[in-house]
């Protein structure tokens, strides 16, 4: 008997260049034999040189996407990437809190995307401040950073990239005790 593929819900933004975001997650999950389901949080216009536009998806639509796939297909794991707004972050956390109550062993990976590889800011200070409840729910929180920008003199495990202030990083870092934080260097 063939095992069913893991059903992985990705809650993240769309990258029109296909190199990151939901597009990259779908490719990775599929390549690993899983079944990728998505809830798009933001639509971006971007390529390898930068982000030219970001359109957050309304929280109600994000929740409708989550409910549609979870109610019909089910979910074995959740991966969260870019969150488009404060309200969306709060609503996603509430929905995942409910899912976690129904399935306490549900793995949730929170990989908050705050800055695009090109350096474009994708989350403002208020949205980053709203990440706390998502970090509390996460089994693992990852944060990608450019090793050239990650300084040993800084007192935070979070990246301090162009446009990301120390106060924003410190707010996220203060939650790090509630979940495992993994720093992933990028090339």
In a domain, 2, yes or no: no
pLDDT at 120: 64
pLDDT of res. 186:
47
Number of structural domains the chain divides into: 1
Residue 54 in contact with residue 83, Cβ under 8 Å? Answer: no
Q: Give me the pLDDT at residue 168, please.
A: 42
pTM: 0.78
Would you call 132 exposed, middle or buried from its count of C-beta atoms within 10 A (0-12, 13-18, 19+)? middle
Q: Is residue 177 part of a domain?
A: yes
Tell me the pLDDT tens digit for each residue of 68-86.
999 999 999 999 998 988 9
Positions in the chain short of pLDDT 50: 145-179, 182-187
pLDDT value, residue 57: 96
pLDDT at position 2 is 73
CATH number assigned to the domain comprising residue 175: 3.40.1190.20
Q: Is residue 65 a part of any domain in this protein?
A: yes
Q: Is residue 120 part of a domain?
A: yes
Q: Which domain holds residue 83?
A: 7-186
- Indicate whether 152 belongs to any domain: yes
Evaluate whether residue 167 is within a structural domain.
yes
| Alpha carbon distances (Å) from 101 to 64, 66, 96, 137 | 19, 16, 8, 10
Backbone φ, ψ for residue 22 (5° rounding)? -55, -35
Q: How far apart are CA 134 and CA 139, in angstroms?
A: 10
User: Residue 1 falls within a domain, yes or no?
Assistant: no
164: left (phi over 0), alpha (psi -120 to 50) or beta: beta
């Amino acid at each position: 008997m063939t095992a069913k593929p893991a059903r992985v819900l990705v809650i993240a933004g769309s990258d029109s260049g296909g190199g990151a975001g939901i597009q990259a997650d779908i490719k990775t999950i599929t390549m690993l034999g899983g079944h990728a389901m998505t809830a798009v949080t933001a639509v971006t216009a971007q390529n390898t040189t930068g982000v030219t536009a970001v359109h957050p998806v309304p929280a109600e639509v994000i929740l409708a996407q989550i409910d549609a796939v979870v109610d019909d297909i089910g979910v074995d794991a959740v991966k969260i990437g870019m969150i488009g707004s404060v309200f969306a972050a709060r609503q996603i956390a509430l929905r995942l809190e409910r899912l976690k109550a129904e399935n306490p062993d549900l793995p949730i990976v929170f990989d908050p995307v705050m800055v695009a590889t090109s350096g474009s800011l994708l989350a403002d200070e208020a949205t980053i401040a709203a990440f706390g409840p998502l970090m509390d729910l996460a089994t693992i929180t990852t944060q990608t950073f450019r090793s050239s920008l990650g300084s040993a003199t800084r007192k935070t495990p979070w990246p301090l990239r162009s446009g990301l202030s120390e106060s924003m990083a410190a707010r996220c870092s203060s939650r790090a005790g509630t979940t495992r934080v993994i720093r992933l260097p990028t090339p």
